[in-house]
């Protein structure tokens, strides 16, 4: 069989969703398939069973294929931070050296080889555009690893943003000849309306590019978490329906906002992503994760968010801080080792009697816990931790969770209005989400797992608009 690389004319054309859909369909058809992205840049991360950190998109693709995510599916991850810095993660662990491109490619090849020994087909995802000519030397995801794998290529274009003729034609024209020869076709994504009305457009593209159009995927609001911050552009910045008003503070270095995917789908919840404090007081403010907690905390103060949050809290608004957001709720966040950059100390919101100190050693691990805050019931939850900070809460307090090793996590105020935790994914579990919303008299009724529901929708779209026969031909069945 052939391996297949899904490339895109630019970022956010839908490569990650296409790969997830292909994984789902081919796995359901009985093929042993696995996702792979040699090099990813994203702030939404996941933790594999061995504690290794990887891109959330590849975890989603693994679930689509019915697999447990492993770091081999995303051996190189870059996470942008403050002050122009970026954290490099190789094979799931933070890499503090400045490794050579040759060494990085060796690591990516080793991961691919391990996957190829187990699976018949590797579905590879590119990054951004494959024809950023000035970046070719360091680009592993788009051309280097697909060449190594001798993979067939598919090119995805986004018709919703306009310019699909030029972007497809231009990208193919700029590809090196050895890569252009392996292109098996193009896929048009995010089409609004009846695809039959674009038949003349298909003919033009095929004539211009001398390449088959493999399918036209409709514009579809899949209930699947986005890979990175670009996806936030399409999320609602206002409350669009009546219900329990949730305001998510869109931090400059927001990360792991996938934590809110399930809450966003609750019928009785109206969730908006706010870059500025809204005029109307929300019922709940969520401070999500951050790759640069001190810088984002400083931004909260300068932007007016901090003042408004404290004012709202006094008026009855509840607060939920997850990971970096949990740290921001305390009195101080300190960085004596300059883990995040030049800032050594930034004042928190002073809503929790806690001080967080950044440590050089990063904690990444899967976790199981029991909710011990009485108002949320004795519920089992699971998720993962990704953080450098060590948070010390002063005095007697109520934790939210008890880890299975007996230690405690988080904070719950006596009136349940201020809640913090390090556990990413805590709202994914339906039982806890229902108990959490019930505290404010809000019914929780999303029911089915939003990721599974989204993958079902995605599978249906791929089957209808691309077809199993076409996919089989692409992978050499």
Closest CA to 156 of 133, 123, 134, 178: 123
Whole-number pLDDT of residue 313: 97
Distances (CA, A) of 223 to 249, 446, 451: 21, 12, 7
Share of the chain above pLDDT 90, in %: 87
pTM as predicted: 0.93
Residues 6+ apart with CB under 8 A from 234: none
Q: For residues 187 and 178, give the distance between their C-alpha atoms in angstroms, rounded to a whole number.
A: 20
Closest CA to 156 of 5, 300, 55, 260: 5
Closest CA to 167 of 181, 184, 187: 187
Whether 318 contacts 356, CB under 8 Å: no
Whole-number pLDDT of residue 224: 77
Whole-number pLDDT of residue 81: 85
Q: Which two tokens stand for residue 25?
A: 């369909």
Q: Are strands 418-421 and 318-322 parallel, antiparallel or unpaired?
A: parallel
Q: For residues 194 and 198, give the distance between their C-alpha atoms in angstroms, rounded to a whole number.
A: 8
Q: Which of the following is catalytic: 274, 387, 424, 465?
A: 424
Whether 289 contacts 252, CB under 8 Å: no
Write the DSSP assignment of 320-384 as a string of letters: EEETHHHHHTSSEEE-TT-SSSS--EEE---SSSEEEEEEEEEEEEEEEEEE-SGGG-S-EEEEE
Q: For residues 140 and 180, give the distance between their C-alpha atoms in angstroms, rounded to a whole number.
A: 17
Whole-number pLDDT of residue 305: 98
User: Is it the case that residue 234 has pLDDT exceeding 80?
Assistant: no
Q: For residues 309 and 319, give the distance between their C-alpha atoms in angstroms, rounded to a whole number.
A: 8
CATH class of the 4-224+453-474 domain in this structure: alpha beta
Whole-number pLDDT of residue 246: 98
Q: Which of the following is catalytic: 323, 334, 337, 397?
A: 323
Q: Which two tokens stand for residue 290?
A: 């951050």
What is the band of 222 on the pLDDT scale with cuts at 50, 70, 90?
Answer: low
User: What average pLDDT does the chain have?
Assistant: 94
Q: Which two tokens stand for residue 94?
A: 């933070």
Q: For residues 207 and 376, give the distance between their C-alpha atoms in angstroms, rounded to a whole number.
A: 61
Instruction: Output b/e per residue, 231-259; b: 16+ Cβ within 10 A.
Output: beeeeeeebeeebbbbbbbbbbbbbbbbb
How many CB atoms sit inside 10 A of residue 96's CB?
9
Whether 187 contacts 155, CB under 8 Å: yes
Per residue in 134-176, pLDDT (tens digit) is 998 889 999 999 999 999 999 999 999 899 999 999 999 999 9
- In this structure, what is the dihedral angle of CA atoms 382, 388, 392, 393, given to the nearest 10 degrees? -50
What is the band of 198 on the pLDDT scale with cuts at 50, 70, 90?
Answer: very high
Name the 3-class secondary structure at 216.
strand
Whether 407 contacts 358, CB under 8 Å: no
Domain boundaries, the chain: 4-224+453-474, 244-441
Residue range 244-441, CATH number? 3.40.50.880
Whole-number pLDDT of residue 230: 63
User: Is it the case that residue 97 has pLDDT exceeding 90?
Assistant: no
Distances (CA, A) of 227 to 41, 47, 115, 372: 9, 15, 22, 32
Tell me whether residue 465 is one of the annotated catalytic residues.
no
Q: Which two tokens stand for residue 264?
A: 């966003």
What is the band of 85 on the pLDDT scale with cuts at 50, 70, 90?
Answer: confident
Per residue in 244-295, pLDDT (tens digit) is 999 999 999 999 999 999 999 899 999 999 999 999 999 999 999 999 999 9
Tell me whether residue 323 is one of the annotated catalytic residues.
yes
- In this structure, what is the dihedral angle of CA atoms 336, 340, 345, 347, given to the nearest 10 degrees? -150
Domains 4-224+453-474 and 244-441 equal at CATH topology level = yes
């Amino acid at each position: 069989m052939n391996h297949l690389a899904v490339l895109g004319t630019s970022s956010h054309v839908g490569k990650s969703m296409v790969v997830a859909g292909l994984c789902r369909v081919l796995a359901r058809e009985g093929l042993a398939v696995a996702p792979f992205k040699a090099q990813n840049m994203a702030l939404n991360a996941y933790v594999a069973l061995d504690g290794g950190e990887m891109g959330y998109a590849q975890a989603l693709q693994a679930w689509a294929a019915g697999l447990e995510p492993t770091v081999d599916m995303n051996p190189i991850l870059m996470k942008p931070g403050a002050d122009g810095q970026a954290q490099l993660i190789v094979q799931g662990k933070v890499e503090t050296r400045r490794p050579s491109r040759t060494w990085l490619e060796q690591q990516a090849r080793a991961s691919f080889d391990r996957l190829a020994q187990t699976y018949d087909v590797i579905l590879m995802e590119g990054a951004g555009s494959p024809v950023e000519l000035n970046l070719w030397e360091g680009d592993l995801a788009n051309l280097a690893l697909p060449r190594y794998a001798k993979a067939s290529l598919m090119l995805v274009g986004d018709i919703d943003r306009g310019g699909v003729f030029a972007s497809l034609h231009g990208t193919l024209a700029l590809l090196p000849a050895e890569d252009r020869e392996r292109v098996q076709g193009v896929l048009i994504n995010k089409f609004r309306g009846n695809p039959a009305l674009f038949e003349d457009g298909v003919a033009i593209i095929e004539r211009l590019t001398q390449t088959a159009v493999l399918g036209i995927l409709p514009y579809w609001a899949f209930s699947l978490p986005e890979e990175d911050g670009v996806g936030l552009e399409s999320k609602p910045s206002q409350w669009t329906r009546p219900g329990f008003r949730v305001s998510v503070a869109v931090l400059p270095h927001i990360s792991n906002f996938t934590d809110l995917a399930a809450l966003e789908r609750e019928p009785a919840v109206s969730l908006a992503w706010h870059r500025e404090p809204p005029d109307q007081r929300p019922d709940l403010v969520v401070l999500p994760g951050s790759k640069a907690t001190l810088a984002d905390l400083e931004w909260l103060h300068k932007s007016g968010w901090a003042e408004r949050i404290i004012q709202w809290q006094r008026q009855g608004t509840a607060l939920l801080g997850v990971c970096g957001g949990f740290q921001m709720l305390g009195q101080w966040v300190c960085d004596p080792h300059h883990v995040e950059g030049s800032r050594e100390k930034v004042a928190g919101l002073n809503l929790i009697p806690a001080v967080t100190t950044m440590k050089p050693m990063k904690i990444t691990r899967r976790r199981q816990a029991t909710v011990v805050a009485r108002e949320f019931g004795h519920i089992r939850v699971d998720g993962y931790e990704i953080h450098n900070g060590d948070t010390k809460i002063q005095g007697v307090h109520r934790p939210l969770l008890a880890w299975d090793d007996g230690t405690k996590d988080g904070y719950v105020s006596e009136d349940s209005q201020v809640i913090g935790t390090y556990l990413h994914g805590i709202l994914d579990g339906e039982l806890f989400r229902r108990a959490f919303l019930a505290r404010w008299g809000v019914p929780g009724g999303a029911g089915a797992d939003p990721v599974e529901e989204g993958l079902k929708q995605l599978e249906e779209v791929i089957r209808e608009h691309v077809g199993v026969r076409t996919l089989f031909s692409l992978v050499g069945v």
